[in-house]
Structure 1
Amino acid sequence: MNNVPKIKVGIVAVSRDCFPESLAVNRRKAVIAAYEKKFGKDGIYECPICIVESEIHMQQALEDINKAGCNALCVYLGNFGPEISETMLAKYFNGPAMFCAAAEETQNDLIDGRGDAYCGMLNASHALSLRKTRAYIPEEPVGDADHCAELIHEFLPIARAIVGLQNLKIISFGPRPNNFLACNAPIRALYDLDVEIEENSELDLLESFQKHQGDPRIDDVVKDMANELGAGNKIPSVLPKLAQYELTLTDWIEAHKGCRQFVSLTTKCWPAFQTMFGFVPCYVNSRLTSRGIPVSCEVDIYGTLSEFIGTCITEDAVTLLDINNTVPNDMYEESIKGKKFLCDEYTDKEIFMGFHCGNTASSKVCNCSMCFQRIMARALPVEVTNGTLEGDIKPGKATIYRLQSTADTKLRAYIAQGEVIPVATRSFGSIGIFGVKNMSRFYRHVLIEKHYPHHCAVMFDHAGKYLWEILKYMGIPVEEIDYNFPKGDYYPTENPFA
């Protein structure tokens, strides 16, 4: 995953000057020791400034962690803590920050050994609010050394996503296809998130593709593709064109990412792409996504933004699928009803098929094969629709989610955890049967009611707790973060008498 930030957390202990410094020093050392024992020394940095008690100390600590190359910050309250300097540190640090605090160790040392960080965390939160400074405060932010070490480790996926967004450029090619109002993408909200965007014409892409004809690197890429596909290499004749296209995109990224470190792409494959390029780009999209460079279909800008966030969280390939079709009743009765899967049993109202033509990474697909795009081939010569990757998506945990801008540039998001169940789809494309508890109600009262488009991003893990915190950190109001309500908990628009 070369397109994902590497996080180095600077851990800075703070202390109120009327408390013993030794509380913060010794407790910080204990947290560092616990972290290194559990997770190793990589990715953390212990600020040697003994204690931050004042603004001068804050400046010294800030300079030190910046010189050390830290791109994330943990402010650790070893005792009550100084709400002015500790929150100034978070404000002036150019990266994501978290706060956690020390619990008391023993009943035998509650006079000079009592730190009151449980109280200090309240003041820290209040001061952060006064400064309009965002910080991640865990669900249970106060604990012993082992607990705080766990909290810092759980901060890493959150920090990766925030740092990634601060340094992301989305590169798009072409306007969305006709009849795809669902991919409407007001870009104002991207700038609110500090995300850059470069919009290009499909003609620019075609011109660059043509200039890559005969590129001496094509043969090596073709060999790599053939090795990846193995027995699934059903149409080897299309690989040189796909390799030429892959090189076109990777060269474009290097030439156009500018001052940004990370890139995601969004392109389209129809209605003229196939006839002008002579193939469909699905397999290339899947290969880039497997390297941590998400490529969404149909110029879905917020789709690729969502995918990139998921890539940062999991450090693994994600995908973009249509929330596509229902599962036939006979398939449900024969293969699903009454069976306990990885996460749960599912009623016929809690399953659906997620599908796209062939953009899912080969590592996430069973028995993948190179194929033609069946939907397009209904209206076009088959030979110009080659290049898609087919196979059932591998079963396992899944989180479906999306960050979206409304037409009036308000950001909202949804998250639902579930799984891909191990039942053959008997269909085509990159496709899987998803089980999500209470899906039919979520579908009606979130996805439809709040006008979400049909594309959902998919992480192949249960990562909702990280995504929830990232969305809050990004400034999205919690009332605009939707999820699948459990049975008996009614959505505001749900008819309680239905």
Structure 2
Amino acid sequence: MKVGILPLGRPTFDVPYAEQKLAAMLTQLDASGHDIVGPRSLLMGPDEGALAAVAGADVLLILQVTFTDAAFATRAATGFDGAVAIWAVPEPRVGGRLRLNAFCGLNLLSHALGLNDRRFTWAYGDEVDLDALLTGPVVAPRHGAPATAPARPIRRDLHIARIGARPDGFDTCAYDKDELSALTGARVTELELPQLFDAARALPDAAVAPYAEKAASLGGMDTLDKGELDRSLRLAGALKGLKDQHNFDAMAIRCWPETFTEYGGAVCGPVSILGEARTPCACEADVYGAVTQAILQDVAEAPVFLADLVDMDGETGVVWHCGQAPVSMAAKAPDATVHTNRKQALLLEFPLKPGRVTLFRLSQAYGRKQVIIATGDVLDAPMAYTGTSGTVRFDRGADRVCADIMASGLEHHMALAYGDHAQALREVAAGLNIDVLELGA
């Protein structure tokens, strides 16, 4: 067959390591006997020449070498006449930075292709069965079933802040205010990032002091740039001020790149602080993620963590985000650190404590509203990647959960809370009159 390849990467990740991974992928492809066409170096953004180079191939093979948004790959896949396959590569769980985050890119793209009704095959691994990937059956959509539990009402008066628009290519974070209100009763107030930045800059020093005192006990504070630290802590005060001014219950914040490139400080540490105080915040302006957190927080009566799934190995999965989990989830005293890609403060770093957990998403996959649930246990294991991360043994097996993530088109953010809340969330689904899907079941 003629196989057209699009190797995707981003310069904010570990490019030399990504190039090593790509070289190994190309070696396997060249040994397959197929006619391999298309670029053989990482595409760091949309590339019209690359699209022209793969036109007319039998299969479009998207090589997800690092995390990327889904915009270019979705355009390539939906505009291609032949079969579409995606191959993403893992990275070892050695406690360092998340160097590629390719699984999350696969997750993001699977959701976008589901919304566009574009079927695909996929593989995740260093060594894969190329024949199965290139010719195997495409993913069959996986949907939930009506909830059979008694109905559990949710709060119908949630007030959500959306601060800044979602990044391009993040279909997982799209929302319709009217649809959301009809489903949950939640209303959304839309603010722009400059409003947050201006409020942070104007914050009196006395209003920043409580956050500085809270951060002072963190290990590693003496390694941080004082200006970045001050700007980051000011974001905590500004978010608290906006919450109090508007009576927000949760917030969805466009966290990158502008907090780094225009403002000069990370919002991740402030998100941890607010989450611990029961004002959950969603990254990447994910409004449904913020509503998901608020619902789970009410059910669990405890802080929640909006996490990416960043690795699945058949036995366990890793939940992770840059450094913004609530500190009550820490297995050890948190350390202060900088963002792994953007190198700015303040983030909190710790492994999640062992214990029973529930993951939950109010999902719009395939354009259908449903509740998605997974349960398992965070293991007493070394920190997989820097930031806030935990290794989860899923009740139904990581391989089955992973297959369902791809088949369900699940969004790349799930809310996590300690405890087993599956039954209560089935009741939430019944109360909302939408289907429920339990991953791996």
- TM-score band w.r.t. shorter chain: 0.5 to 0.7
CA contact (8 A) 1:232 1:367 kept: no
Matched, 1:188 2:178: yes
1:275 CA drift (Å): 2.3
Question: How do 1:16-415 and structure 2 match up within 5 A?
Answer: 158=152, 162=154, 165-192=155-182, 193-212=184-203, 214-227=204-217, 229=218, 234-235=223-224, 237=226, 238-257=228-247, 263-327=249-313, 349-365=314-330, 366-376=332-342, 382=343, 385-406=344-365, 408=367, 410-415=368-373
Match of 2:438 in 1: 483
Match of 1:472 in 2: 430
Cα distance in structure 2, aligned partners of 1:414 and 1:220: 38
Q: Deviations over 1:233-278 (max 9, x none)?
A: 7537244323321121111112223xxxx51001122112212221
CA contact (8 A) 2:373 2:422 kept: yes
CA 1:137/1:401 → structure 2, altered by over 3 Å: closer, same or farther? closer
**Local SS of the residue matching 2:168:** coil
Unaligned runs of 5+ in 2: 1-146
Larger radius of gyration: 1
CA contact (8 A) 2:324 2:348 kept: yes
Residue type of the alignment partner of 1:354:
V
CA contact (8 A) 1:402 1:457 kept: yes
CA contact (8 A) 1:438 1:484 kept: no
TM-score, normalization: structure 1? 0.55
Residue type of the alignment partner of 2:359:
I
**Local SS of the residue matching 1:209:** helix
CA 1:363/1:235 → structure 2, altered by over 3 Å: closer, same or farther? farther
1:191 CA drift (Å): 0.9
Indicate which of 401, 407, 422 corresponds to 1:449: 407
CA contact (8 A) 2:160 2:249 kept: yes
Q: Deviations over 1:26-71 (max 9, x none)?
A: xxxxxxxxxxxxxxxxxxxxxxxxxxxxxxxxxxxxxxxxxxxxxx
CA 1:186/1:448 → structure 2, altered by over 3 Å: closer, same or farther? farther
1:441 CA drift (Å): 2.1
**Local SS of the residue matching 2:296:** helix
Structure number with the bigger relative contact order (C-alpha 8 A, sep ≥ 6) is: 2
1:285 CA drift (Å): 0.2
CA contact (8 A) 2:272 2:327 kept: yes
Cα distance in structure 2, aligned partners of 1:264 and 1:233: 32
1:375 CA drift (Å): 2.0
Cα distance in structure 2, aligned partners of 1:468 and 1:252: 33
1:167 CA drift (Å): 1.8
Residue type of the alignment partner of 1:287:
I
Match of 2:73 in 1: none
**Local SS of the residue matching 1:310:** helix
Match of 2:101 in 1: none
Indicate which of 415, 438, 463 corresponds to 2:421: 463
1:203 CA drift (Å): 1.8
CA contact (8 A) 1:233 1:369 kept: no
CA 1:432/1:137 → structure 2, altered by over 3 Å: closer, same or farther? closer
Residue type of the alignment partner of 1:390:
E
Cα distance in structure 1, aligned partners of 2:221 and 2:381: 21
CA contact (8 A) 1:398 1:462 kept: yes
Cα distance in structure 1, aligned partners of 2:221 and 2:317: 26
Q: How many residues align?
A: 291
CA 1:265/1:240 → structure 2, altered by over 3 Å: closer, same or farther? same
CA 1:180/1:431 → structure 2, altered by over 3 Å: closer, same or farther? same
Residue type of the alignment partner of 1:276:
E
CA contact (8 A) 1:292 1:315 kept: no
1:411 CA drift (Å): 1.4
Q: Deviations over 1:421-465 (max 9, x none)?
A: 111134211111111123322322x32222111111101111111
Percent identity between matched residues is: 22
Residue type of the alignment partner of 2:308:
D
